[in-house]
Structures are given as C-alpha cells and as structure tokens.
Structure 1
Amino acid sequence: MFKFFKDVSREMKKVSWPKGKELTNYTIIVISTVVFVALFFFIVDLGISQVLNLF
C-alpha cells in the first residue's frame, strides 16, 4: 500500500496543472456548454410536450 502512494506521489509531480487564466477559460467553457445543452433539451422537451398536447 505504501508503494502505491509513493508511486501516486511521483506521478502527481509529473502532472501539468492549468494556470489560473486557463482554468478560468475552461470553467467558462464548461458552464456555457452545460447551459446551452440544458436550454436545448428544455426547448426540445417543450416542443414534444406541445405536440403531444395536440393529440
């Protein structure tokens, strides 16, 4: 078990972490994508509901 944590620690030192500006840009992209997808499915759901209410 100690070898595992030692290996994990060694690998984590090799990781290239994003800088503050990159992290902000990635966060904005993720949030805007989530909002876009949510709006898309909301509109699709609303359309399907309207079509089903016609019957």
Structure 2
Amino acid sequence: MQRIKKFFSDVFREMRKVSWPKRGELTRYTVTVLSTVVFVALFFEVIDLGISKLIRLILE
C-alpha cells in the first residue's frame, strides 16, 4: 500500500512540473490538427476516387 501511495505522490509531483499550454496555444494547436486531418482525409478520398475510376476504366 505504501508503494502505491508513493507512486501517486511522485506522479502528482511530476505533473506539477509540466508546462501546460495556454488557452490560445491550445486553440491554435487544435485548429491545426483538425485542419490537417480534414485535408489528409479529403486528399485520400480524391486519390481513392481517382484510382477507383481508373480501375473501372481498365476493367470495362
């Protein structure tokens, strides 16, 4: 039981040392990640559609 208590005490101590992002930074990072995910998803959708049409043309 003492080891568990020490573990959580150490975790709490280390978490206080963490440099957490400010609200503006967090918003900017979130927008960057979401826009990147949307861009990559659309990119692969277009590539997938192109390859599908090309395969249909070859097989017909």
TM-score by length of 1: 0.95
Q: Which runs of 5+ in 1 are unaligned?
A: none
The aligned length equals: 55
Q: Return the match for 1:6 from 9, 18, 35.
A: 9
**Residue in 2 aligned with 1:52?**
55
Letter of the 1:39 counterpart:
L
Q: Return the match for 1:41 from 40, 44, 58.
A: 44
Aligned partners of 1:37, 1:2: CA distance in 2, in Å? 44
Deviations for 1:7-55, whole angstroms, at most 9, x for unmatched residues? 1000000000000100010010000000000001101100110011112
Q: Of the two, which has the highest radius of gyration?
A: 2
CA RMSD in angstroms, aligned pairs only: 0.6
Q: Percent identity?
A: 65
- Structure having the larger proportion of residues in helix: 2
The runs of 4+ residues in structure 1 deviating greater than 6 Å are none
